[in-house]
Amino acid sequence: MNSAIAWICALGALVTSVSFGAQAAPLQCLAPAKPGGGMAVTCKLIQKGLQLPAVAEAREGPLKISYLPGGIGAVAWNSIVSQRRAEADTLVAFSGGSLMNLAQGKYGDADVSNVRWVAAIGVDYGMIAVRADSPYKNLHELLAALKKNPAQVTIGAAGTVGSQDWLKISMLAKQSQIDPKTLRFVALEGGGEAFTALRAGHVQVVSGDASEATLHTLDGEIRILAVLSEQRLPGTLAQVPTAREQGLAVSWPIIRGVYVGPEVSDAAYQHWVKRFDVMMATPEFAQLRTATGLSPFAMSGDKLTAYIKTTVADYRKQSDQLGLIR
């Protein structure tokens, strides 16, 4: 009798251990770029948001942030789609740049329906930056230099020709009667690497995102010449003029969010959607989002999926018109 009781107790302990272990599986936000860029910003914001009292779940450890750079998101995308299809505890950061790459076929034979889109948590905006000791004090001075001798100014951008960062500066150049084909670009792996190159003097200009700039301007070594938004942004970059204020009608919004693998169960997927809906509705998250340099934008589940399908189709049409799709 005693041995039977002992066996039952042991079995119960084992079941409890397995159950607890399943609940305590480490959560992960996968940033498909090097540290210091917009993808890291997305994961860090979610990491803080999931710890808010209204959102946190019992027995859940802190969200771990992992980095998987390569191909401006292609390596992470292919990893999830081909090898990690059912990982319900792995969120993958995406941005408008990811959607642009999808539209242009830079993720190979990929489609919007290859993953499950969980939530968009905010909107970022493009920006143009130089070092604080740069001779260019505003957008007009930079564009004048590019017009006079484009080969003398090296521009760091995440991705190659056709990427978001390439398009931002190209649109500004076109409005200043500069042929974008004459510009000297250096393709880098994300915003973190671009700002590192700028600090080191390997490039003279960075075409990137406002949230990235928020991370890199606090030490006074970086000067932001313009943000590509309709109005000035709140927070750290409140004193930075828009391109529109400087006579150039260019704005570039960038949504940021996360997706999961295609074989994540409906129950797990809906659980994430509901958690993000709760998180994004809290005033505490709104404060975190603003401090991060993002503006309000909250969308999830089916509504987000429909939005992304439309956006990718629009990007594909624009890219085709610019001759960026072969």
Q: Are residues 59 and 177 in the same domain?
A: no
Q: Are residues 209 and 115 in the same domain?
A: no
Q: What is the mean pLDDT of residues 14-30?
A: 55
Q: Which residue has the higher pLDDT, 215 or 111?
A: 111
Q: Are residues 173 and 258 in the same domain?
A: no
CA distance 84 to 96: 23
Alpha helix locations (H) across the chain? 2-23, 38-49, 74-82, 96-103, 139-148, 164-175, 191-200, 210-216, 266-280, 283-292, 301-321
Tally the domains of the chain: 2
Task: Identify the domain boundary among 194, 218, 252.
Answer: 252
CA-wise closest residue to 275 among 91, 40, 44, 81: 91
Q: Are residues 150 and 183 in the same domain?
A: yes
- Give residue 16's pLDDT band: very low, low, confident or very high (50, 70, 90): very low
Q: What is the mean pLDDT of residues 83-95?
A: 96
21 assigned to some structural domain: no
Q: Are residues 62 and 136 in the same domain?
A: no
Q: Are residues 46 and 116 in the same domain?
A: yes
pLDDT digits (tens, 9 = 90+) for 278-287: 999 999 999 9
Angle at CA 70, nearest 5°, toward 98 and 32? 50
Q: Are residues 182 and 96 in the same domain?
A: no
Q: Is the pLDDT assigned to residue 197 strictly greater than 90? A: yes
**Domain CATH code at residue 99:** 3.40.190.150
Q: Are residues 37 and 58 in the same domain?
A: yes
32 assigned to some structural domain: yes
CB of 59 closer than 8 Å to CB of 23: yes
Q: To which residue do tokens 């010449």 refer? A: 225
Q: Are residues 229 and 211 in the same domain?
A: yes
204 assigned to some structural domain: yes
CA distance 75 to 91: 15
What is residue 300's predicted lDDT score, i.e. its pLDDT? Answer: 98
pLDDT digits (tens, 9 = 90+) for 180-194: 889 999 988 888 889
Q: Is the pLDDT assigned to residue 1 strictly greater than 70? A: no
Q: What is the mean pLDDT of residues 98-107?
A: 91
pLDDT digits (tens, 9 = 90+) for 274-307: 999 999 999 999 999 998 889 999 999 999 999 9
CB of 170 closer than 8 Å to CB of 183: yes
- Give residue 257's pLDDT band: very low, low, confident or very high (50, 70, 90): very high
In this structure, of 168-172, 216-220, 308-312, 321-325, the range with the lowest mean pLDDT score is 321-325
What is residue 8's predicted lDDT score, i.e. its pLDDT? Answer: 35
Q: Of all residues in the chain, what percent carry a pLDDT higher than 90? A: 68
3-state secondary structure of 124: strand
Q: Are residues 131 and 239 in the same domain?
A: yes
pLDDT digits (tens, 9 = 90+) for 116-130: 999 999 999 999 999
- Give residue 25's pLDDT band: very low, low, confident or very high (50, 70, 90): low
111 assigned to some structural domain: yes
What is residue 189's predicted lDDT score, i.e. its pLDDT? Answer: 80
pLDDT digits (tens, 9 = 90+) for 152-182: 999 999 877 888 888 899 999 999 999 988 9
Q: Are residues 211 and 258 in the same domain?
A: no
Rg for the chain (alpha carbons), in Å?
A: 22
Domain that holds residue 276: 27-123+254-321
| Mean per-residue pLDDT of the chain | 89
Q: Are residues 82 and 147 in the same domain?
A: no
7 assigned to some structural domain: no
Number of Cα atoms under 13 Å in the Cβ half of residue 225: 25
What is residue 323's predicted lDDT score, i.e. its pLDDT? Answer: 75
CA-wise closest residue to 259 among 20, 70, 79: 79
Task: Identify the domain boundary among 222, 237, 252.
Answer: 252
What is residue 319's predicted lDDT score, i.e. its pLDDT? Answer: 83
Task: Identify the domain boundary among 206, 226, 252.
Answer: 252
Q: What is the mean pLDDT of residues 128-138?
A: 97
**Domain CATH code at residue 143:** 3.40.190.10
CA distance 64 to 172: 38
1 assigned to some structural domain: no
10 assigned to some structural domain: no
